[in-house]
């Protein structure tokens, strides 16, 4: 299977591991940030693309006004199933959907929100064009992407640590995809190619990721992301060993007890 395929494969046990480990480890603070950026806008209908297991969806359902309709979509049905199993404070419409072919009419949303999904769009300009198409005039396209891997310390440490177990072909999923789309000029060009004529605003957001032990981020990254697909693609029997190697690398850098590391993202917003 090509890396472009495995990078988007959030199936098997990944959705549950993703929700249990990654959401509290790295996603929650940035989800709060995104939803706060929507709170003061006049909205009637919001679309979330690449909703994953629903961390942003749940926050929107509990924070935005009761009269605001929320539609949450993801390409991976397994991720939506995990999100629906957790539920939301008030009703949300869940839809399986491809960001590059959204099943909605033109000018039907006041905002389109994407939490750490743009990096996975195979044709980013096409996905941006679809977001623009479904936005009403004056509508907001709001998304975040991970910044450089060196500014995200746990991910960088796991990536370098795995070189010890796969020296000839180290898994590069984290550097290639989640942390591979942070060049501002490239994002500007893709948005322009998608039809957005206004200048996007970029905000760098830095937070701290904490865990009770190095074992938690080791499991989170090695077993709760498509990095697992890369590891098992090289040797199906080495997932546990790779997780152990990642844990040791994290312990060597941050210590064996409770650990903390820098995480950093870019928030991008542009108005139609």
pLDDT tens, 18-50? 898 999 999 999 999 999 999 989 999 999 999
Rounded to two decimals, the pTM is 0.93
pLDDT at 12: 58
Classify strands 135-146 and 259-271 as parallel, antiparallel or unpaired. Answer: antiparallel
**What is d(CA 137, CA 110) in angstroms, rounded to the nearest whole number?**
8
What are the Cα distances from residue 164, in Å, to 7, 35, 161, 246? 22, 40, 6, 10
pLDDT at 132: 98
* pLDDT exceeds 70 at position 4: no
- pLDDT tens track for 217-262: 999 999 989 899 999 999 999 999 999 999 999 999 999 999 999 9
Do residues 99 and 125 touch, judged by C-beta distance below 8 A? no
- pLDDT tens track for 154-179: 999 999 999 999 999 999 999 999 99
Is the dihedral angle over the CA atoms 28, 32, 37, 39 positive or is it negative?
positive
- pLDDT tens track for 5-24: 544 455 456 778 889 899 99
pLDDT at 10: 56
Do residues 267 and 202 touch, judged by C-beta distance below 8 A? yes
pLDDT at 7: 46
Domain coordinates in residue numbering, the chain:
3-271
- pLDDT tens track for 102-111: 999 999 999 9
266 token code pair? 């870019």
Task: Report the mean per-residue pLDDT for the chain.
Answer: 94
Do residues 110 and 45 touch, judged by C-beta distance below 8 A? yes
DSSP annotation of 199 = P
CATH 3.40.50.150 fits 3-271, yes or no: yes
**What is d(CA 127, CA 107) in angstroms, rounded to the nearest whole number?**
15
**What is d(CA 55, CA 267) in angstroms, rounded to the nearest whole number?**
17
DSSP annotation of 107 = T
Percent of the chain topping pLDDT 90 = 91
Burial 187-225 (b: 16+ CB within 10 A, else e): bbebbbebebeeebeeeeeeeebebebbbbbbbbbbbbb
């Amino acid at each position: 299977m090509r890396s472009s395929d495995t990078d988007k494969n959030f199936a098997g046990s990944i959705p549950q591991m993703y929700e249990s480990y990654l959401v509290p480890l790295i996603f929650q603070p940035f989800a709060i940030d995104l939803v706060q950026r929507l709170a003061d806008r006049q909205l009637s209908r919001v679309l979330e693309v690449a909703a994953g297991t629903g961390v942003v969806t749940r926050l929107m359902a509990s924070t935005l006004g009761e009269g605001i309709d929320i539609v949450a979509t993801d390409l991976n049905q397994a991720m939506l199933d995990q999100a629906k199993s957790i539920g939301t404070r008030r009703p949300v419409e869940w839809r399986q959907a491809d960001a590059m072919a959204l099943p909605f009419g033109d000018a039907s949303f006041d905002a389109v929100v994407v939490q750490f999904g743009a990096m996975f769009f195979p044709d980013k300009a096409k996905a941006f064009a679809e977001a623009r198409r479904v936005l009403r005039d004056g509508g907001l396209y709001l998304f975040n992407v991970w910044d450089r891997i060196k500014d995200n310390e746990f991910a960088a440490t796991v990536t370098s640590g795995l070189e010890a177990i796969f020296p000839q072909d180290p898994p590069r999923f984290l550097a290639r995809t989640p942390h591979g789309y942070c060049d501002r000029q490239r994002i500007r060009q893709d948005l322009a190619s998608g039809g957005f004529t206004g200048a996007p605003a970029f905000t760098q957001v830095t937070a701290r990721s904490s865990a009770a032990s190095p074992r938690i981020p080791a499991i989170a990254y090695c077993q709760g992301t498509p990095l697992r697909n890369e590891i098992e693609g090289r040797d199906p029997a080495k997932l546990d060993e790779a997780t152990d190697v990642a844990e040791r690398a994290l312990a060597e850098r941050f210590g064996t007890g409770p650990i903390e590391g820098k995480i950093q993202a870019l928030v991008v917003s542009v108005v139609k």
